[in-house]
Every structure is written in C-alpha cells, then in structure tokens.
C-alpha cells in the first residue's frame, strides 16, 4: 500500500490565477524571500507539473490530504476524487 500526501487549494486567492479551488499541489520550496521582502512558497501542480509561487500568507487556503492505494493509477484516481469534492463543496 502506498500513502501519498498532497495539498489542495480550498479557497480562492484574490487576484491570483496560478491556481483554482480544487487544484492539487505538492511543496517544492517553503519560505522563499523575493526582492521587496515578499515571502513565497513554491508549489508543483499535480495536474500539469507547473511550479507556482504563492505568498506564505495564503498557507491557510490549503488543505493537507493523504490518500493510499496499491499503485499510482489508483492514487491518481483518489486525488481526482478529493479535488472534485473540494470543487463541489463536499470535501473542505
């Protein structure tokens, strides 16, 4: 059995179009400071592999999830189910 941990965006981030509610991500870096003193986390989207920088003040907009399965195909299906539930308001 494989356990897979990921995060899902549960609330919209105003003025940010890099992620939508229900998008699954995994952390790449945490607490990077950009010019001007802005603090960011970098996330990798599970749907397309793109990296997105999100201000650390939005960490509470994500829900940590763990799914398990016999193989990565089963895990991918379960991730999709969790994401769809967040989009529909049944998982949050």
- Segment 13-66, tens digit of pLDDT: 988 888 999 999 999 987 888 888 999 999 999 999 999 999 999 999 999 999
Query: pTM above the 0.85 mark?
Result: yes
Within 13 Å of residue 70, how many CA atoms lie on the same side as its CB? 0
| pLDDT at residue 91 greater than cutoff 80 | no
What pLDDT, on the 0 to 100 scale, is given for residue 84? 96
What pLDDT, on the 0 to 100 scale, is given for residue 60? 94
Domain annotation for the chain: domains and CATH numbers: 2-88 (2.30.30)
Compute the distance between CA of residue 38 and CA of residue 61 in angstroms, rounded to an integer: 18
């Amino acid at each position: 059995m494989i356990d897979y941990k990921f995060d899902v965006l549960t609330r919209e981030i105003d003025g940010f179009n890099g992620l939508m509610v229900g998008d699954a991500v995994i952390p790449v870096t945490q607490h990077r400071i950009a010019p001007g003193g802005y603090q960011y986390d970098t996330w990798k989207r599970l749907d397309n592999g793109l990296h997105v920088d999100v201000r650390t003040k939005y960490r509470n907009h994500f829900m940590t999830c763990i799914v398990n399965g016999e193989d990565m195909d089963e895990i991918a299906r379960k991730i999709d189910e969790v994401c769809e539930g967040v989009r529909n308001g049944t998982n949050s």
